[in-house]
Structure 1
Amino acid sequence: MTMQNSAVEADRALKAKHRAMWAQGDYPSVATEVIPELGPVLVEACGVRPGLRVLDVGAGSGNAAIPAALAGADVVASDLTPELFEAGRRVAEKQGAHLTWQEADAEALPFGDAEFDTVLSCVGVMFAPHHQQAADELVRVCRPGGTIGLLSWTPQGFIGRMFAAMKPYAPPPPPGAQPPPLWGDEDHVRALLGDRVTDISAERRAVRIDRFATPEMFRDYFKERYGPTISVYKNIAGEPDRSAALDGALVDLARDADQGTGSGGTVLEWEYLLFTARRAG
């Protein structure tokens, strides 16, 4: 096997692993029950309107793609994990949204150059392992003058800290892979896109999460439904002491971040970066 063929096979295996990670659990319920407002926030920031052709990269079950379609745009929802589409189709049908669902690798999008007026991703493309390749694809498929919009968890925010808490229990990342929350760092995203974009707007915001009565309920919800958390627990399944330590680390994270003031429930603020830019040219 040549070095090039070996690299292709390694990438194919990595993408298969990522697809399987997101297919397990129930990410669509996380999107609809915990963070439903994030997609509409991104769609509004991108100025999506009737007549625009929009691509949602890492669309999952359509948290941003469906609001974009309801805004009147011609939308393609793309994701590496098509198992997530069925839940999205049900939501779209219920809401009267019409859009196209297409399996796609964010690092090798099956679309033409400058094919879309708006290219967006709501906590999606940030999980592609090779950030520069994914960023290059976002730019390539966006027309000159078009909008690129990203909503990503920050390294310093709650989800970024959750990934840091899970890291000691996770298998080592593959060569060249970068941590997802780096997409929530403005300087990192600016470096990825470079001088290929103009009119940059970058703002840190937070979404209020108050659906978990206790820190333990947060932990158990993510253990059951969130693919990356499920994968980390599977990695240490035969090590009860480490599993218990991770249990404690996630509870401590939620307890430390709890902003509840005697309301009887856990109140969390999950920080994200809202980033929009216009493709130069």
Structure 2
Amino acid sequence: MPIAEQMQPAAANAAASPVNPNQALWEKGDFTRIAASMRESGEALVERIGVAPGLKVLDLGCGDGTTALPAARRGAEVLGVDIARNLVEAGKRRAREAGLSNLRFEVGDACNLAGVPDRGFDLVVSIFGAMFAPRPFDVAKAMVRVTRPGGRIVMGNWIPNDPTLVAQILRISAAYSPPPPEGFVSPMTWGVEPQVIERFEQAGVPKTNLSFERDTYVFRYPRPPSDLLDLFRHYYGPTMNAFEAAERNGRADELHAELRALFEAQNTSRDATSLPATFLRVSVIVP
């Protein structure tokens, strides 16, 4: 069954279901502005994980296609699913402009993947996407369910307390934000190997089928680091929320100074911006 037909029920269910709290976060601002600085790393990662012609690939938490487009260009049949409607529409535009008829985008929830058939994909990829969904055990179960036996799941997850860019942005932003609601599970726990193992074991995957590797994404921007920070401030949901909270408390300048120091200290380019960010690459073989 073609991917577009597979996902028709999912789109209807997404429209009828209660709004996931994450939807408001990721529809806030315009993450495409940030994603533009991640394209090169997305292409390199797709090559490293061995996306090949003919593979059926689900890109979960796909944004506007940073990994979905290069996967489709390599000849895979790709479905991108994201909770944010604006990012799905942006992905559709990018696919049309690239002439990629083997790439579709749909709105969906990583916690249940309603309407996505069992065992429908050779490879499920989620790069800094599904880690932000609120119910991690349900996410692991959903990813395993839609992957064929012998297929793979590959996740890219930010690592708590890592000294590089994104983990530090999220750490600093959290310090200026209100306490999370009761029952909140930090997305950064997806960067902790024992917790990842526990989640997939409960989904029926033995520990021996999991492997872990440190990998790096690089944010590249043709202007100074302070300009890239401005994009995060105005277009990246978590940072936008932190600045709104800081402004209410008269601490916006303090937050900006702390983030600017981070961006400038980690920049490896002399005349532009190049910011490496370490993440945990999780590879799962589904039994």
Q: Compute the TM-score of the two structures, normalised by the length of structure 2.
A: 0.83
- Where do 5+ consecutive residues of structure 1 fail to align? 1-10
CA shift, 1:169, in A, is: 1.6
Q: State the alpha-carbon separation in 1 of the partners of residues 45 and 171 from structure 2.
A: 25
Contact 2:159–2:192 (Cα < 8 Å) also in 1: yes
1:256 and 2:265 matched: yes
Output aligned runs, 1:48-197, within 5 Å.
48-98=51-101, 99-110=103-114, 111-155=116-160, 156=162, 157-194=164-201, 196=205
**Cα deviation 1:3-62 (Å, max 9, x = unaligned):** xxxxxxxx946x1x321221122211211x211133334433443223322111111111
Supply the RMSD in Å over aligned alpha carbons. Answer: 2.2
Q: State the alpha-carbon separation in 2 of the partners of residues 216 and 46 from structure 1.
A: 33
Q: State the alpha-carbon separation in 2 of the partners of residues 265 and 64 from structure 1.
A: 24
Change (3 A) 1:279 1:248: same
Q: State the alpha-carbon separation in 1 of the partners of residues 45 and 85 from structure 2.
A: 22
- Counterpart residue number, 2:248: 238
Q: State the alpha-carbon separation in 1 of the partners of residues 120 and 57 from structure 2.
A: 9
Structure 1 SS opposite 2:251: helix
- Counterpart residue number, 1:19: 23
Structure 1 SS opposite 2:131: helix
Identity rate of aligned residues, in percent? Answer: 34
- Counterpart residue number, 1:6: none
Contact 2:38–2:220 (Cα < 8 Å) also in 1: no
CA shift, 1:162, in A, is: 1.0
Q: State the alpha-carbon separation in 2 of the partners of residues 265 and 77 from structure 1.
A: 31
Change (3 A) 1:52 1:266: closer
Change (3 A) 1:90 1:147: same
Output aligned runs, 1:208-247, within 5 Å.
208-211=218-221, 213-239=223-249, 241-247=250-256
- Counterpart residue number, 2:6: none
CA shift, 1:215, in A, is: 4.1
CA shift, 1:199, in A, is: 4.3
Q: State the alpha-carbon separation in 2 of the partners of residues 62 and 40 from structure 1.
A: 10
Range that drifts further, 103-112 or 68-77: 68-77
Range that drifts further, 247-256 or 209-218: 209-218
Q: State the alpha-carbon separation in 2 of the partners of residues 66 and 222 from structure 1.
A: 23
Q: Compute the TM-score of the two structures, normalised by the length of structure 1.
A: 0.85
Q: State the alpha-carbon separation in 2 of the partners of residues 69 and 215 from structure 1.
A: 31
Which letter does structure 2 place at the counterpart of 1:108?
Answer: N
Contact 1:154–1:271 (Cα < 8 Å) also in 2: yes
